[in-house]
Amino acid sequence: MSKTIIHSKIPTDDKGNSLIPMAQIARCIDNMRSVLGNDYVIIATPFDTNKIDGDTILINIDCKEYSYNGLMEIIEKAKMYDGLCK
């Protein structure tokens, strides 16, 4: 079973320093884990917050959008191809 990734943004100042103490961030992540359970992977970084699942568009290359599921399929095919070439 695949897990949903929850990505939370850590607020920073204009120099990139965290505006929230790391201990408080760790408590917040622990609270999210206790509420969401083991079906989720929780990541906290100083970037935008997103929920990434199978149909979420992750990347756009040459005007074609690739979803999480689409990228995973490409990766799996590449692994199979690599295995055949050995």
Claim to verify: residue 8 and residue 49 sit in the same structural domain: yes
Task: Calculate the alpha carbon distances from 63 to 16, 30, 60 in Å.
Answer: 32, 39, 6
Claim to verify: residue 5 and residue 17 sit in the same structural domain: yes
Claim to verify: residue 22 and residue 46 sit in the same structural domain: yes
Check: pTM over 0.85? Answer yes or no: no
| The pLDDT value given to residue 26 | 92
Residue 26's Cα: distance from chain center in Å? 17
Claim to verify: residue 34 and residue 65 sit in the same structural domain: no
Q: Which residue range is the domain that position 58 belongs to?
A: 54-86
Tens of pLDDT, residues 6-33 = 888 888 999 989 999 999 999 999 999 9
| The pLDDT value given to residue 6 | 83
Claim to verify: residue 40 and residue 64 sit in the same structural domain: no
Q: What is the mean pLDDT of the chain?
A: 80
Tens of pLDDT, residues 39-80 = 888 888 887 656 666 666 556 666 677 777 887 888 888 777
Number of domains observed in the structure of the chain: 2
Claim to verify: residue 31 and residue 6 sit in the same structural domain: yes
Distance of alpha carbon 32 from alpha carbon 76, whole angstroms = 31
Claim to verify: residue 44 and residue 5 sit in the same structural domain: yes
Claim to verify: residue 39 and residue 62 sit in the same structural domain: no
| The pLDDT value given to residue 47 | 73
Claim to verify: residue 28 and residue 49 sit in the same structural domain: yes
| DSSP symbols for the chain | ---EEEEEEPPB-TTS-BSS-HHHHHHHHHHHHHHHGGGEEEEEESS--EEE-TT-EEEEETTEEEEHHHHHHHHHHHHHHHHHT-
